Amino acid sequence: MDKFPEAFKRFEKVVDIDRFESYKEMSYAFGHWAGKRWRDTWLQNRALANEGWRLGFKDVSVPFKFHARVRKEKWAKAYKKRVKKQVKVVAKKYKGVGEVRIKALSWYVSRGYSANKIQKRMKDRGIGIQRKKLLKIVREMRLKFKKADTKKYVPKKYRKKKR
């Protein structure tokens, strides 16, 4: 439910809006009036900009830090599509791992949980997976692939000697 117009009407009752010369002054005054409820988010700024246009301010703008939001959303949508596809591939690929486990894994991976945290949470739920298999699935779901030369990532004392 959109509460911003109600809040702005209360602001109009308390503060004389006609004395503001620019949108910037009005936005500063509204932020000051709103106090701790003004979080300076993209949605709040957009709603305040709509009220500014309604009142007829010419210099209405959303702060610059929110201009990149559109690009980020497009990238995130494309990434989410790729991840969804990958989850389907993983579900088909590992037949020993059931649907419940795959759903749980994809949920944890989408929230950015580490493999250790995922393993602990799944163990607590009683749907554990072997560590090696879990790591392999998590890597695939994150769209990370095997490193080309794994030898250089193995500590020297554990490497096999060439003869």
Q: What pLDDT score does 69 carry?
A: 54
Regarding whether 77 and 35 lie in a shared domain, the answer is no
pLDDT digits 0-9 by tens, 9-56: 999 999 999 999 999 999 999 999 999 988 888 889 889 999 999 999
Residue 163 in any domain: the answer is no
pLDDT(137) > 90: no
| Residues 117, 144: Cα–Cα separation, whole Å | 18
Same domain (yes/no): 36, 75: no
Are 77 and 96 contained in the same domain? Answer: yes
Q: Give per-residue pLDDT as tens, 72-88.
A: 555 566 767 777 777 77
Residue 3: what pLDDT? Answer: 85
Q: Last residue of a domain, which of 19, 41, 66?
A: 66
The reply to whether 126 falls in a domain is yes
Contact assessment for residue 39 and residue 76, using Cβ atoms and an 8 Å cutoff = no
Residue-number span of the structural domain to which 46 is assigned: 4-66
Sequence-distant (≥ 6) Cβ neighbours of residue 27 within 8 angstroms:
45, 48, 52
- Give domain status of residue 149, yes or no: no
Residues 79 and 137 grouped into a single domain: yes
> Which amino acid, 28?
Y
Q: Are residues 42 and 77 in the same domain?
A: no
Residue 111 domain flag: yes
Are the beta carbons of 29 and 52 closer than 8 angstroms? Answer: no
| 17 and 53, same domain (yes or no) | yes
Let me know: does 60 contact 23? Beta carbons within 8 Å. Answer: yes
Based on the fold, state whether residues 84 and 35 are members of the same structural domain.
no
- Which pLDDT score is estimated for 12? 93
Residue with the larger pLDDT of the pair 8 and 89: 8
Distance CA 114, CA 99 (A): 20
Q: Note the pLDDT of residue 48.
A: 92
* pLDDT above 50 for 61: yes
Q: What is the pLDDT of residue 109?
A: 87
Q: Which residue has the higher pLDDT, 107 or 95?
A: 107
Residue 61 shares a structural domain with residue 87: no
State which of 66, 95, 118 marks the end of a domain: 66
Give the residue from 66, 84, 116 where a domain finishes. Answer: 66
Each residue of 98-130: pLDDT tens digit? Answer: 888 888 888 898 888 999 999 999 999 999 888
Q: Are residues 48 and 60 in the same domain?
A: yes
